[in-house]
Structure 1
């Protein structure tokens, strides 16, 4: 750990800890999130939309691990600056896009921004607290940061859905403003560890060292859970917009789908924020294994019911879809981050995030082929896709639950 010799240096690092929740909030102000599927679908068919999502996750496959290494090698602040800049560029492209190629380019740039932030944000947080000698506060502060992220997502979804009811692209215009705010916030940060570049190993040696941590059964189990929950979290997120669209056509409120999607996402994320705020306390009472499995089971139930019924009552159940993310994010970070050396931390977390994104990307590609020649804008097609997801998720959850007989993750 670097020793900060002056009060001014410590005050700068203290500012990192103070501003971090604000950075997390503006980074997660995804005004576009409740309507992106509808926005893409204005110009493209469902198969093309699924391919766009596959392109996004494929780009993350390429960029995720190098971005983590960049963070360990060249510093957290530099990497977060790149992440914020990529978001600004991506949202501008989305705003003006009208063709598949333009949307695809925007997806790649967005993937670069998300990848650069992934793992670096929480590593920056932990490094800053360590420099201040306050790493014991990390778990609870991560819970607060997760709450800030979900509250920002909730508010931005509400606003984004409202402006998208006028024009879907307006949601991306607001996202540009939020991304610029994030860029300004990062410029106020101070690198918490000046010797990062000297400590990081060459790229392939770094990868080897990170994968060696998976020899520990506890870290391997947590790694596997992150992969599963990443996939399960993304499924309702990916499909609740077309679900609402089909339900809207059935109940004759389709013209208001964008606004309803925004309100729905805002409420769902607000519920998730409540669980995020209390996630450290929940994990402390139930234990991390029970907390994580319970969250995954809830997500699996939501996906299954979505696939079985097209009904307005299910819309209320889908409001619970953000609970899993709220319950698990901070406990997972607290269970993993302190046990990975600082010089490998962002790389390891990027590998972990990459594995989840690869899994979901493969799922999307498989689903795009499984539609075959059927009409992809029907309830039968959407139900078919969701039930496939539920079946695969149940198998993954079963494997993790059984493995707890010989793996202690507490």
Structure 2
């Protein structure tokens, strides 16, 4: 069994790489403009995708817990591939909305299951401490591949806007094939309760534990700040008059920053408490919005890369933090609940961001996003300190009561 669990790690690298090798990133906004969409419509579509995640996140996480992690990963890429097919074959807003629903559904099938199968495989070999390192290495491989793909997508887009989408579609089907090679870890604690009871207990566990509850708050903040940043790059590129032919080059640079951050900067956080690391990333995200706004020139694109450091480090640190707080039987479901919080937050605020771009412009939106990121991170740091003081006071009271009795 140990050999199979070790093989899961190599399969995980291949699965994550192919599932995330969608090279459409640099040309997605131009492609949607080419299809006749406005910024408001783009952000509304992202809200639809986020709502789909909210609707499906917990049910699919429960399937991973109660049925099979492997099944969830196989079907994830297939559903996402069908969604991408609609972007290629159709051109109406309604078709894109259906595609976003499929993207949301496909994303939720893997969001908790992939992390769970990796952590549990390591756990069976007593190597849990390697989780963040392996997750970061997997992300680094993805970012290197996307760096090359970003340059290629810009060149291929100039030949035909559809070519990057067809290549990405093939990668999704490849990832589905890789997922068939996973070995499901033995689940001595697999939940046998009914679906509703399982979900209710998972929500109760998430809310009851202060650390998980804090993670929900922070996830809500970063769900907006980090995910919206992708859609705000193109408006900033326009502000500094960057030629569209260079979009792919800039995105390639962003992915190189991500790759280097995943491989090398993660080591700096190995002995730092995850809460401190996450708060630092929130402040760094604020800088990624505010510093380019202050400078406002082509050279300031380098400071947008601060957000790429956050992109590289946030998921491994957050998932390691969550995985340490929960038991196997509810692992995928609670991870999904944390992801659900981020998606719900993004679903609520993304249409407002789109309206802000259309009506107030990119400068105003960047200012608001930066201030909220910095202020929100500092506020949540204070919240966690209050949680710790409350727990310490409760422990002292409990000890005093035992002494008296």
Same fold (TM over 0.5): yes
**1:329/1:282 Cα in 2 relative to 1: closer, same or farther (>3 Å)?**
farther
Distance across 2 between alignment mates of 1:52 and 1:310: 28
Alignment of 1:4-403 (within 5 A): 9-42=1-34, 43-193=36-186, 199-211=191-203, 212-248=205-241, 253=243, 257=244, 259-307=245-293, 310-370=296-356, 376=358, 380-403=360-383
Distance across 2 between alignment mates of 1:52 and 1:164: 22
- 1:370 deviation in Å? 4.8
- 1:283 deviation in Å? 1.8
- 1:167 deviation in Å? 2.5
**Cα contact 1:28–1:152 (8 A) shared by 2:** no
**Cα contact 1:304–1:387 (8 A) shared by 2:** yes
Q: CA RMSD in A?
A: 2.3
**Cα contact 2:211–2:325 (8 A) shared by 1:** no
- 1:362 deviation in Å? 0.9
Distance across 2 between alignment mates of 1:320 and 1:280: 14
> Where in structure 1 do 4 or more consecutive aligned residues deviate above 6 Å?
none
**1:194/1:53 Cα in 2 relative to 1: closer, same or farther (>3 Å)?**
same
Q: Secondary structure at the match of 1:343?
A: helix
**1:81/1:219 Cα in 2 relative to 1: closer, same or farther (>3 Å)?**
same
Distance across 2 between alignment mates of 1:394 and 1:292: 12
Distance across 1 between alignment mates of 2:265 and 2:191: 33
- 1:83 deviation in Å? 0.5
Q: Secondary structure at the match of 1:339?
A: coil
**1:274/1:160 Cα in 2 relative to 1: closer, same or farther (>3 Å)?**
same
> May I ask how many residue pairs the two structures share in their alignment?
387
**1:205/1:152 Cα in 2 relative to 1: closer, same or farther (>3 Å)?**
farther
Gap runs ≥5 in structure 2: 390-405
Distance across 2 between alignment mates of 1:275 and 1:129: 23
Gap runs ≥5 in structure 1: 1-8
Distance across 2 between alignment mates of 1:336 and 1:41: 38
